[in-house]
Amino acid sequence: MSDLEESIPVSEENERIMKHRPHPIFRVEKPVKVSKYSRDEWRLLECFETGLVYLDNPVDYASLKKDYAWEKTYAKLKEEKEKNEPVFSKLSAMVKFIRRKVRKLPKIYTLPVDLCESHFADREVLNILDVGCGDGHYSFSIAKSIASKTGKQVIPNGIEISVELHKLADAKLRELGGEVVHSPAVEGMAELKDSSQNLVIMHSFLEHETDPIGLLEACRSKLSEDGLLIIKVPNFACWNRLVRQHKWCGFRFPDHVNYFSPNNLKLILEQAGFKIFQMNFFDTIPTSDNMWVVASK
């Protein structure tokens, strides 16, 4: 990998937080090339075998907790886009506003409710886990919606690495009997009992995890035998990425470290011991920047 490491310079101020990592799916070296989408010191690699694109030199967890926390990087990215592409940013915001007005609730709210209503019909108590739960807004709302529609007791839990977001989420979810672990995702999983969760949700999270196969294996051990895993990630194979190229909204440096397409998302789930429960055409439609999958043990 020496040639790859020399192909993109690393600034002195970031050198201490850069590291090389093995292939995110197989944990060993695989034939790769430096992706044309690499930017500044951030080195993206593309696997010849799987097509997976991933950040080879992500920042460490200590920096993710503070310097690169989601609430900071998102605000900075939004500001840059509004400055560099003011017309496109306004148009994008307008489209999102119209969508909220004319369509039903987003899938992150409806999918968990529908699954809990149909798949867990015989359970009276449901434990749900939101990995990378942010401020707890989604977890809280989803738990309330599931309880309202099914009549079940729903206990929402979460894992969050950001210091500030953890405080907000933990206070919110404790109102419903849950709690939030303040930790990186894989380490946080270790604090949960095996087979204790009925539904695990990763909403816009797996693209952030430097050890995605390890996290998925940990998720599998924490799920009940009838448990389900819901994943939403950016779709690297979408048409918008092909059109927008380097300006695609799915590129976020350095906190997006995995760029999945439908085939390699299926592959990593299978490598972790999961089966595909739901992943239809509309879950991976190329006109959307994101894709969905539901997996079972």
* Per-position DSSP letters for 238-271, written without gaps between them: SHHHHHHGGG-TT--TTT--EE--HHHHHHHHHH
For the domain that residue 182 is a member of, what is the CATH number? 3.40.50.150
Query: What is the structure's pLDDT at 24?
Result: 97
Q: With cut-offs at 50, 70 and 90, classify the pLDDT of residue 48.
A: very high
Vertex 290: Cα angle to 96 and 93 (nearest 5): 15
pLDDT, tens digit (0-9, with 9 covering 90-100), for 185-196: 999 999 999 999
Query: What is the structure's pLDDT at 273?
Result: 98
pLDDT at residue 1 is higher than 50: no
184, amino acid identity:
P
Query: What is the structure's pLDDT at 38?
Result: 97
What does the pLDDT average to over 165-173? 97
Average pLDDT of every residue of the chain: 88
Query: In this structure, are 122 and 135 located in the same domain?
Result: yes
CB-based contact 100:94 (threshold 8 Å) = no
- Domain hosting residue 85, numbered range: 71-101
Query: In this structure, are 76 and 214 located in the same domain?
Result: no
Query: In this structure, are 174 and 78 located in the same domain?
Result: no
User: Which among 187, 218, 213 has a CA at the least distance from the CA of 52?
Assistant: 213
Cβ-Cβ contacts under 8 Å for 116 (sequence gap 6 or more): 126, 146, 150, 152, 154, 198, 199
Query: In this structure, are 176 and 250 located in the same domain?
Result: yes
Query: What is the structure's pLDDT at 105?
Result: 77
- The pTM of this model reads 0.86
Query: In this structure, are 140 and 109 located in the same domain?
Result: yes
Query: In this structure, are 226 and 82 located in the same domain?
Result: no
The total number of structural domains in the chain stands at 3
Query: In this structure, are 75 and 173 located in the same domain?
Result: no
35: Cα separation from own chain's centroid: 21
Place of tokens 């496109």: 88
Token pair for residue 278? 């739901």
Query: What is the structure's pLDDT at 106?
Result: 86
Query: In this structure, are 97 and 122 located in the same domain?
Result: no
pLDDT, tens digit (0-9, with 9 covering 90-100), for 51-106: 999 999 998 766 655 566 555 666 666 666 666 677 666 666 666 666 566 656 78
Termini Cα distance of the chain: 36
Query: In this structure, are 143 and 11 located in the same domain?
Result: no
Query: In this structure, are 58 and 182 located in the same domain?
Result: no
Query: What is the structure's pLDDT at 8?
Result: 43
Query: In this structure, are 201 and 290 located in the same domain?
Result: yes
pLDDT, tens digit (0-9, with 9 covering 90-100), for 192-213: 999 999 999 999 999 999 999 9
Other beta carbons within 10 angstroms of residue 251's beta carbon come to 20
How far is Cα 200 from Cα 218, in angstroms, rounded to an integer? 11
Alpha carbon of 226 to those of 86, 95, 121, 221, 268: distances in Å?
48, 38, 11, 12, 20
